[in-house]
Amino acid sequence: MSDVVGYELEGRVAVLTIDNPPVNALGIAVREGLVTQIDRAGADNSADAIVILGAGRTFPAGADIREFDQPTREPHLIAVVDHLDTVKKPVVAAIHGTALGGGLELTLGCHFRVAAPGARMGTPEVNLGIFPGAAGTQRLPRVAGLDHALELIVLGKPIGAAIAKDYGIVDAIIEGDLRAGAVAFAEKIVADGAPRAISSEPRNGVGSPEDHAETIAKYRDLANRRMRGQDSPHQAIDSVIDGLTMPYPDAVAADRKRFETCKNSGQSQALRYAFFAEREVSKIPDIGKDVVPREIASTGVIGAGTMGRGIVISLADSGFPVTVVETSQEAVDNGMVEIAKTYDGMIKRGRIDEAEKDKRLVRITGAVGFAALGAADLVIEAAFEDLDVKKQIFGELDAIAKPGAILATNTSYMDIDAIAAATSRPEDVIGLHYFVPANAMRLLEVVRPEKSAPDAIATGMTLAKKTSKIGVLARVCHGFIANRSRLPLVREATFLVEEGASPAQVDAVLTGLGMPMGPLAVSDLSGLDVSWRMRQSLADEHDPEERYMHLADRMCERGRFGIKAGKGWYSYEDGGSRPMPDPETEAIAMEVAREHGTVRREISDEEIRERCLYAAINEGAKILDEGIAARASDIDVMWLYGFGYPRWRGGIMFTADEIGLDRIYGRVKEFHAEHGKLWAPSPLLARLAEEGSRFTR
């Protein structure tokens, strides 16, 4: 009858099992199967009630997102959900794993819901640029009340079974065997003659939009703050409001139109792209599932500076014992004090309690000298960015680390092949490039040197997962993927200031694109001296034909290191971090422009947008072409998680595709003619533009 929805009788209860691995997504075959088997159970004289559950790891985790790019096929999920209203026998949803999106909506069509204690449920559709489109915006408020429904629908965060029970979404939590418990629950409903709870029935006393004005305003505000620039949370709220003013069928019809508009929007396409891009990153073309990552039972970190401490905390938070080494007892003690302070901050924000802090601190040991790292399975070096220092450290590590230990460097741009060559075991050396603060930032750039062993790389990628990070693989080059593709954006931002734009104008254009901060405000935050030092260390390699960041250097020469100095591109009052325009920056820009013959002029927002974005895209194309990144989408995932690029724009490479590569190539050629060598067009960009093709699929 149906390959994907099983039918069995258990006593006088029909059990319908959805079996569509990996997550039982509600694709066309499942929807057809459900209708068929629901009708069969309805007509089966041996069945008094129906239980719907998921095989394997989960209840359906939603509609099949891959179908969104294809023509829709009936029955739509909404029809399946509405069909349940007509079934005269009680229908019980038995939830385990994650009942998400359409999965939860399917349960709302059922008359009762029971769940395993570990089950999670929610409506994460806003993360895909849509909203619950199978009547979730109508049924959830009726079941859980408006506030709880808006919480789930607008914020898109799943809740656990216990909270779902509090919210009235779940009728009972079943300890032990879920299937047996659900069947027993159904039998009791039949025995008690309990009425079926139909969640589309008219609302009694639920109130009008005016009654709920405060709640609605609260979620509008949350949507504006947490999902800035995104439409679908507001569309979702509009749908819920429709449900307060219209009869169910009319509200559902209005939903349908709104849902289609959202689904076809650029935002939804970008968000769906990001969903799959994020899942692609862990697939490394030449490292298959047969490559077994090495066992990591204990870890070590070299350096208790800002970066080292963040890495230590990230490891300890994920349950790893970690030894952090420094060159003196004083540095060790300072590091431990700062780590404890970070945990105190987490306690203050209610993220952990004292007992949890103690548990995590017990995992951390401070020590002087490398000898303490002899037993570690993984050592991460987070020392000063100086190639000679790093080579020396790795030479010393080589002498004491145990055989098979992974030796990782946290360098953000250096030649890891050269660092690996300082050891007798380059196959064990990898890059683990964390982002500040390392304990909070989700991105981990795993760098693959020439001689690294496949299982060493697999270990780095697994470590990312085990520490709740997104690991993205890069080959070795100056700056790898993340910093190399971002540098041109920052470079153009500073050139634009030299040419006449104000830092505030440049930053406003980029925050206008949806980035959380502008590049110049970010430089002030992280310190202008960091890249100044890097430029100094690379002075010998500078190509005189390439335009140089004289203005950024001059800012540092004048002590304008950013927030920590009270002045950078902006000025800051009384140790604060609120950027204020500073006329001195303009004066320095004019001075540098004069010295280097730069003509100052009025610069349009459009030029700022194009120069900053297209410079990064052109570099991204070079990174892809050189095989530094395995896929364009890997570059995008870096931008989403490393630099706060708005997810609803997909990433810089996806944005490029949406703008059109021919347009971008045309502008890059113009900028090349105008501004010289740094704008040399990527051959890949040229080729794809000429073919009318894209970076991403």
Residues that bind ligand 3HC (CB under 6 A): 22-23, 25, 61-66, 77, 98, 100-102, 105, 124-125, 128, 132-134, 136, 276, 279
| Beta-strand relationship, 13-18 and 5-10 | antiparallel
- Nearest residue to 437 via CA among 646, 635, 642: 642
Of 299, 610, 330, 284, the closest CA to residue 453 belongs to: 284
CB of 163 vs ligand 3HC, minimal distance in Å:
17
Cβ distance 96 to 56 under 8 Å? Answer: no
Reported for 341-346, long-range contacts at CB under 8 A and 24+ positions apart, including other chains, are: 342/309, 342/313, 342/439, 343/313
Tokens of 672: 């090349």
For residue 60, the minimal CB distance to ligand 3HC (Å) is: 8
527 phi, psi to nearest 5 deg: 105, 120
Q: Active site residue: 32, 105, 427, 626, which one?
A: 105
Of 128 and 339, CB closest to ligand 3HC: 128
CA distances from 468 to 230, 306, 314, 463, 647 (A): 25, 20, 9, 9, 19
Three-state secondary-structure class, residue 407? strand
- Residue 644 CB, nearest distance to ligand 3HC (Å)? 21
Pick from 369, 424, 365: which is nearest to 394 by CA? 424
Ramachandran class of 137: left when φ > 0, alpha when ψ lies in -120 to 50, beta otherwise: alpha
Q: Which is nearer to ligand 3HC, 263 or 622 (CB)?
A: 263
Does the active-site annotation cover 105?
yes
Q: How far is the CB of 237 from ligand 3HC (least distance, A)?
A: 15
- Shortest Å, Cβ 110 to ligand 3HC: 16
Please pick, among 67, 74, 125, 396, the residue that the annotation labels catalytic: 125
- Nearer to ligand 3HC among residue 79 and residue 180 (C-beta): 79
Size of the chain in residues? 697
Looking at beta carbons only, is 155 or 401 nearer to ligand 3HC? Answer: 155
Burial grade of 55 (CB within 10 A; 0-12, 13-18, 19 or more): middle
List the beta bridge partners of residue 301: 324, 380
d(CA 144, CA 241): 15
Looking at the Cβ atoms of 105 and 187, the one nearer to ligand 3HC is 105
Which lies closer to ligand 3HC via its Cβ, residue 53 or residue 322?
53
In the complex, what is the shortest distance from the CB of residue 95 to ligand 3HC, in angstroms, rounded to a whole number? 13
- The neighbour count for residue 246, using CB atoms within 10 Å, is 15
First to last CA, the chain: 36
Sequence-distant (≥ 6) Cβ neighbours of residue 665 within 8 angstroms: 681, 685, 686, 689, 690
C-alpha dihedral (189, 159, 638, 70), degrees to nearest 10: 30
Which neighbouring-strand residues pair with 447? 431, 474
- As to burial, measured by CB atoms within 10 angstroms (0-12 exposed, 13-18 middle, 19+ buried), residue 636 is buried
Longest CA span, the chain = 92
Q: Which is nearer to ligand 3HC, 64 or 524 (CB)?
A: 64
* Residue 294 C-beta: closest distance to ligand 3HC, Å: 22
Report the alpha-carbon distance of residue 136 to residue 123 in Å, rounded. Answer: 8
CB atoms within 10 A of CB 179: 17
**Of 269 and 494, CB closest to ligand 3HC:** 269
Comparison of 135 and 419: residue with beta carbon closer to ligand 3HC: 135
CB of 112 to ligand 3HC, least distance (A): 21
Task: Name the token pair of 544.
Answer: 């005189």
For ligand 3HC, give the closer residue by CB, 136 or 471: 136
CA distance 137 to 481: 41
CB of 26 to ligand 3HC, least distance (A): 7
Alpha-carbon gap, residue 263 to 68, rounded angstroms: 7
What element of type H or E holds 14? strand 13-18
Nearer to ligand 3HC, 140 or 623 (CB): 140
Cα–Cα distance for residue pair 98/1, rounded to 1 Å: 26
User: Is 187 a residue of the active site?
Assistant: no
CA distance 518 to 589: 18
What's the min distance (Å) between Cβ of 28 and ligand 3HC?
12
**CA–CA separation, 376 and 652 (whole Å):** 38
Residue 404 beta carbon to ligand 3HC: minimum distance, rounded to whole angstroms: 29
Nearer to ligand 3HC, 287 or 346 (CB): 287
Helix axes 266-280, 248-263, angle to 10 degrees: 70
Task: Kindly state the tokens that stand for 47.
Answer: 């069945």
Q: Smallest distance from the beta carbon of 62 to ligand 3HC, in angstroms?
A: 3
Looking at the annotation, which residues are catalytic?
105, 125
